[in-house]
Amino acid sequence: MRISRILAGGRSTPRAIPNFDSTTIFVRATARYLRGEDFPALGMFHPKLSGLAPVLNHLPRTVRTSMYTWGGANEGVPSDSLGGVDVERFREWVVDQYPERGYPAVMVGSSNGAAVHLAALLGIPWLPQTFLVPVRRSMGPDEIREDIRWGEACAEPFLEANPDVSLHQMHDPNQDRLMVRKLGYFRTKVRTLGEAYEEFLETVLEPGGTIVTLECGYDWPAVDVGERHSFQLGGLGGLDPEEYYEGSDRIASFLAERGAATRRWNAPEPDGRVPEAEWGFDPHLREDVQRIADDRGYDLRRLSFDDPRDLSPFVADRYRERYRERNRSTERLFAQSFALVEPWWTIRTGSIPYWTAFNTRSDVRSLEAYLEGAEPYDEIRANLFSHGVESAGLASVERWREVLDHARDRRGFVGVDTNAYPYDLESLFRYHSDIPRTIDARHSHPPPMPFERFDELAGDVADEYSVRWETR
């Protein structure tokens, strides 16, 4: 079996849902915690690869980067089969992951790593709005206009087959430079709950239960391609949105270092701003949630924020409060990068979770701002997601060490080969296995924080954070 095919993982999801996407991983992490299980290997890798993990970083760098490219490409679907992709099958897969039992609340909406930890704290499921459909095709990473034309030509059958979704075609030649060579990114946002989500809510919500809409207001300049179809150049991370379209010195330097034939990306002028493809919330879904709540008598809460990273301080401090209520230490912070979330071991080690959306300088600044305003931590640990590219805006290991130095005592990385970063393939396994080796504290898993208690607290303290908690 080719190693790139092993890296892509076994097919445990419906056709057209990739194992490697943030939404897929966040659903699995949340569901495994609710089942009382830890979360090794992102829930996606073939078991045969576990024995190979210790040698991955000894492979030549060119081999490692090609594994990112081909591992993703193996999960893509042919463009001529898009008319047969049914997004309702995605929602069915999501609800099948969760234990079928009563819950006081269910979260619905934006993808967010901090929301995984919030769901674990409250013992409730999270139903995502956004899914990635990876489409196989070959294209140079800097061929922006060509990618728009390609997407326009093949999207219509998919949109006709799925009338309740918006298509946010995404192309990031900076952070996703390896993947976009062989994949087109069709990120889709459901505008309705659909039969599977509705049936799940009716089955598991306890009497008087609450639906919490998780609404990230982060938006991005986009090109209007057609009805329910937009094109987004770039994504949240190391560059400002406008830089992708207008160019900058650091983009010119990045492209020169990659040996590219251009020093800026040739893209059409954006037509306006839309919800960001991976993290933003399409408000059409809110209207459908309101309909279901009115019809069936559910309570509604709205948890909204402007940047996906805004939720992290709010969630971290709720953990601190919960640990303090149970007479546990509140002095250890564990920062977890992008998809490298592990709620089971976070709570088992008595760690406070803090989610960083990626590994960029802006993510370091967000974490640093939190630490400068928070009650000091004795110990600060972090993992780092490696994406195989020295992308523009990437934060160096040295910069991450600077923020870890906010700890009064112990500090360091978990599961990171600092010499290999950002080509550190082993971290996709070691982010989990190194937690018990690095952090020796052990605590029992407490019962979920009562939702009524959280509801009261959130209403009292939301104004202290960049979040809004609204009763509807």
- Characterize the bridge pairing of strands 126-128 and 103-109: parallel
DSSP 326-373: TT----EEEEEETT---HHHHHHTTPEEEEESSSBHHHHHHHHHHHHH
Per-residue pLDDT of the chain (472 residues; tens, 9 = 90+): 233 333 444 446 888 999 989 999 999 999 999 999 999 999 876 655 666 677 888 788 888 888 888 777 788 999 999 999 999 999 999 999 999 999 999 999 999 999 999 999 999 999 999 999 999 999 999 999 999 999 999 999 999 999 999 999 999 999 999 999 999 999 999 999 999 999 999 999 999 999 999 999 999 999 999 999 999 999 998 899 999 999 999 999 999 999 999 999 999 999 999 999 999 999 999 999 999 999 999 999 999 999 999 999 999 999 999 999 999 999 999 999 999 999 999 999 999 999 999 999 999 999 999 999 999 999 999 999 999 999 999 999 999 999 999 999 999 999 999 999 999 999 999 999 999 999 999 999 999 999 999 999 999 999 999 999 999 7
Helix H segments across 79-143?
87-97, 113-122
Which helix or strand (DSSP H or E) is residue 43 part of? none
219: β partners = 275
Q: If you ran DSSP here, which 8-state letter would residue 135 be given? A: E
Asked if 277 and 265 touch (Cβ cutoff 8 Å), the reply is no
> For residue 296, what are the CA distances in angstroms to 49, 53, 108, 406, 449?
47, 49, 16, 49, 25
Asked if 366 and 398 touch (Cβ cutoff 8 Å), the reply is no
Backbone angles phi, psi at 307, to 5 degrees: -130, 140
The count of other CB atoms within 10 Å of the CB of residue 398 is 8
Domain ranges of the chain: 3-305, 314-438
d(CA 55, CA 357): 28
Strands (E), 152-288: 165-171, 183-190, 205-216, 219-226, 229-233, 272-275
Matching CATH number, 314-438, of 3.90.79, 2.30.29, 3.40.50, 1.10.3470: 3.40.50
pTM over cut 0.85: yes
